[in-house]
Amino acid sequence: GESVGLHLPTLSVQEGDNSIINCAYSNSASDYFIWYKQESGKGPQFIIDIRSNMDKRQGQRVTVLLNKTVKHLSLQIAATQPGDSAVYFCAETGTASKLTFGTGTRLQVTL
């Protein structure tokens, strides 16, 4: 039969605008979360992390927000650039060893 791949949600953003990528996680016991960026043909690359005792953490041009009540994580990218075009994954862990990855969101930056 016909194979069906994962449907990757796609976010299209104009260069210079802010991007918000969302992630819902399932395990209420998860206590650590990471955002990864994966460019075409490369392995996932760490962007930013956050522990469950925090609700916000900022890095360079990126901010991660955590809402434990609704088990929601978001990644905000300020002043999006063409080099930000990639697939973004959230990952969670409760055991500190295994990471469980989400399905990913494709970010397309238009000029």
β-pair type (19-24, 72-77):
antiparallel
Is 50 in contact with 43 (CB distance < 8 Å)? Answer: no
Nearer residue to another protein within complex by CB, 80 or 102: 102
Nearer residue to another protein within complex by CB, 31 or 61: 31
Nearer residue to another protein within complex by CB, 69 or 97: 97
The one-character DSSP state at 83 is G
The one-character DSSP state at 1 is -
Nearer residue to another protein within complex by CB, 43 or 111: 43
Residue the block writes with tokens 């088990």: 71
Residue numbers at the binding site for another protein (CB under 8 A): 3-6, 32, 34, 36, 41-46, 49, 89, 93, 96-104
User: Shortest approach of another protein to residue 77 CB, angstroms?
Assistant: 19
Beta bridge partners of 12: 108
User: Shortest approach of another protein to residue 104 CB, angstroms?
Assistant: 7
Gap between the Cα atoms of 67 and 39, Å rounded: 27
User: Shortest approach of another protein to residue 17 CB, angstroms?
Assistant: 27
User: Shortest approach of another protein to residue 89 CB, angstroms?
Assistant: 7
Residue the block writes with tokens 């969302």: 22
